[in-house]
Amino acid sequence: MINEVVIVVIRYQSKIRWFKGERELWILDLVKLRDAFIENGYQVPELNDSDRFGLHILDENNVETFLDKIQGNEISCSELSKRLASRFPSARSWWDVADLFPIMFIDFDAKSVAAFYHEGVQMEKYIPQHWNGEFIDFANEYPENIFPDDDKFWVKGDSDLLKVLNERARKQ
């Protein structure tokens, strides 16, 4: 797999937190992913304890252990906001700042995953049993009670910089 660093949003105990990390880190069920490769005729090594700290299936039962292990990957909303502010003036569209925006919203409270990305593994497909996954533009479509505007680094008061970037792209 490509070692692409991505941004994700985690909702746990009703709190929104932002993290960065290699894309594979955020595939919640590595066992399902491995099995899918095997079913398609690929030879894949066994999972071991070096794979995501030995947490091959990440769910509500081991999220605290996982969060402890990746606390160095947490990134503040204000840091993302600063990065966007520095690049926003020259950005012609969302594509120019896409690396700042989350590709996944993992809700450990509701046992659900929302993913929105332009390529790569279908993150929403490889999730624990009894979880729900969907491919959806959660940044724009999730309700305020799930993903509040106050927790979105691109929204400041009445200004939604993501919408502005999308408008810029349409005008080109």
pLDDT (tens digit per residue) in 56-97: 999 999 999 999 999 999 999 999 999 999 999 999 988 999
Q: What is the pLDDT of residues 91-113, one digit of tens each?
A: 998 899 999 999 999 999 999 99
8-41 residue pLDDT tens: 999 999 999 999 999 999 999 999 998 888 888 8
CA–CA gap between residue 69 and residue 107 (Å, rounded):
18
pLDDT at 1 exceeding the cut of 80 = no
Mean pLDDT taken over the chain: 92
2 pLDDT exceeds 80? no
Q: Burial, 60: exposed, middle or buried (Cβ in 10 Å; 0-12, 13-18, 19+)?
A: middle
What CA–CA distance (Å, rounded) separates 155 from 53?
A: 34
Domain map (residue ranges) of the chain = 5-171
Q: What is the mean pLDDT of residues 150-170?
A: 89
Give the integer Cα–Cα distance in Å for 92 and 169: 6
**Rounded-to-10 torsion of CA 107, 108, 112, 117:** 50
Token duo for residue 65: 């252990």
Average pLDDT over residues 141-164: 92
The predicted model scores a pTM of 0.91
Q: Is the pLDDT of residue 3 over 80?
A: no
Cα gap 1→86, rounded to integer Å = 31
Q: What is the mean pLDDT of residues 1-9?
A: 82
> In the prediction, which pLDDT does 83 show?
96
Kindly indicate the confidence band of residue 145, based on its pLDDT and cuts at 50, 70 and 90. very high
How many beta carbons lie within 10 A of that of residue 122, not counting itself? 13
* Contact status, residue 65 vs residue 55, Cβ threshold 8 Å: yes
